[in-house]
């Protein structure tokens, strides 16, 4: 049986920073992703986890337009975005691989309702704004805004994933040869209550969910594809430099932005510490990243990565 690769697609890889959040722009990037994943699927059983930051933020803006209806909570909006992006990915993958089985699972993930992020939001959602636009929206909607590179974006709570409730279905489909789209947007956050599971107001980071999924599936590789071609030190400065081969120990010496590269580095570090090999790279170079010809390779020993630079 083929080995397992968990492929995490960033919400910003599917909708680039600064792009209009249109269906056409998302579809163009999803077509690129489908081609890259189709190549990977020739050698691996593939589970795809996708981000939803730009998309769920857009849906929440649309949600606010209904003045006489109370806004839907973030867990429900996350489920909506998971279905939307999952449908688009499944359709384009099937177009590229017409003889393959592709399944999308709306995935519930247990979190702690008292997670510290509920008081200190860090997860970027929605489109990017300039300073003036961000200030007006923050005041009008009681949002928290933080800088994301050259832009400003809304941030929301991002509780850490504890358990994937639908992992049995994911395992069954992978075992049957399906390409599985799951844990979309990090999954739908739920927590235990006296009356069963209930939704949590937040958005789970998809990279952390992808790592949890990879560990539970005992995957061979974890691949995080985004709009950055590698992990960089001193990002955005004249001294920026890419890390092509690295280890969890080396990465622990540096700090990375909490709302963007930070969770990705945390995710690949966690998976590498479990004995797997993890990668971060650009969406359009997915197969090259997995083949260690591009991007950043993370493992317990640098020698285990064979990246050509």
Lowest mean pLDDT among 99-108, 203-212, 236-245, 255-264: 255-264
**In this model, does residue 11 exceed pLDDT 90?**
no
With beta carbons less than 8 A apart as the criterion, state whether 205 and 189 touch.
Answer: no
pLDDT at position 309 is: 42
State whether CATH 3.10.20.30 applies to domain 4-304: no
Among 264, 277, 281, 295, the active-site one is 264
Indicate which residue of 206, 221, 281, 295 is catalytic: 206
Mean pLDDT of 163-168: 96
Which one of the listed residues 11, 185, 276, 295 is annotated catalytic?
A: 11
Residue pair 13/33 in contact by the 8 Å Cβ criterion: yes
Active site residue 11: yes
**Vertex 152: Cα angle to 151 and 154 (nearest 5):** 145
- Residue 302 is a catalytic residue: no
Judge whether 264 counts as a catalytic residue: yes
**In sequence order, which residues have a C-beta less than 8 Å from that of residue 271 and are 6 or more positions away?**
211, 214, 215, 222, 278, 298
Maximal C-alpha separation, the chain: 60
**pLDDT given for residue 90 in this prediction:** 96
As given in the structure block, the two tokens for residue 153 are 């974006």
Task: Place 173 in a pLDDT band, splitting at 50, 70 and 90.
Answer: very high
Q: Where does the pLDDT of residue 172 fall: very low under 50, low under 70, confident under 90, or very high at 90 and above?
A: very high
Q: Is the pLDDT of residue 308 over 60?
A: no
- pLDDT tens digit sequence for 49-83: 998 888 888 888 888 888 788 888 899 999 999 99
Catalytic residue at 206?
yes
The confidence band for 306, taking pLDDT boundaries of 50, 70 and 90, is low
Tell me whether residue 42 is one of the annotated catalytic residues.
no
Catalytic position from the list 29, 51, 57, 123: 123
266-305 pLDDT, tens digit each: 999 999 999 999 999 988 888 889 888 999 999 998 777 7
Find the Cα–Cα–Cα–Cα dihedral 54, 170, 33, 297, rounded to 10°.
Answer: 90
Residue 108: partners with Cβ closer than 8 Å, 6 or more residues away: 165, 166, 187, 188, 190, 197
More confident residue, 109 or 70: 109
Q: In the chain, what are the domain boundaries?
A: 4-304
């Amino acid at each position: 049986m083929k080995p397992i690769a968990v492929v995490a697609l960033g919400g910003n890889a599917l909708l680039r920073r600064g792009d209009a959040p249109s269906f056409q722009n998302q579809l163009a990037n999803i077509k690129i992703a489908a081609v890259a994943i189709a190549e990977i699927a020739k050698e691996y059983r593939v589970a795809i986890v996708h981000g939803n930051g730009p998309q769920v933020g857009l849906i929440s803006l649309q949600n606010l337009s209904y003045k006489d209806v109370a806004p839907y909570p973030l867990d429900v909006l996350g489920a909506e975005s998971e279905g939307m992006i999952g449908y688009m990915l499944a359709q384009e993958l099937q177009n590229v691989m017409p003889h393959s089985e592709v399944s999308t699972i709306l995935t519930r993930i247990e979190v702690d309702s008292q997670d510290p992020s509920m008081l200190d939001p860090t997860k970027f959602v929605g489109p990017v704004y300039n300073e003036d636009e961000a200030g007006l929206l923050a005041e009008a909607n009681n949002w928290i805004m933080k800088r994301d590179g050259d832009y400003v974006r809304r941030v929301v709570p991002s509780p850490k994933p504890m358990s994937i409730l639908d992992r049995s279905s994911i395992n069954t489909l992978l075992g049957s040869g399906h390409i599985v789209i799951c844990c979309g947007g990090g999954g739908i956050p739920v927590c235990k209550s006296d009356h069963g599971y209930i939704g949590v107001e937040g958005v789970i980071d998809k990279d952390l969910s992808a790592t949890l999924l990879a560990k539970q599936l005992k995957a061979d590789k974890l691949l995080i594809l985004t709009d950055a071609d590698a992990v960089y030190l001193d990002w955005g400065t004249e001294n920026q430099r890419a890390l092509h081969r690295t280890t969890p120990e080396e990465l622990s010496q540096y700090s990375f932005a909490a709302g963007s590269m930070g969770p990705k580095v945390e995710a690949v570090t966690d998976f590498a510490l479990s004995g797997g090999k993890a990668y971060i790279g650009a969406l359009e170079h997915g197969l090259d990243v997995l083949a260690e010809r591009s991007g950043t390779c993370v493992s317990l020993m640098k020698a285990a990565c064979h990246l050509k630079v």
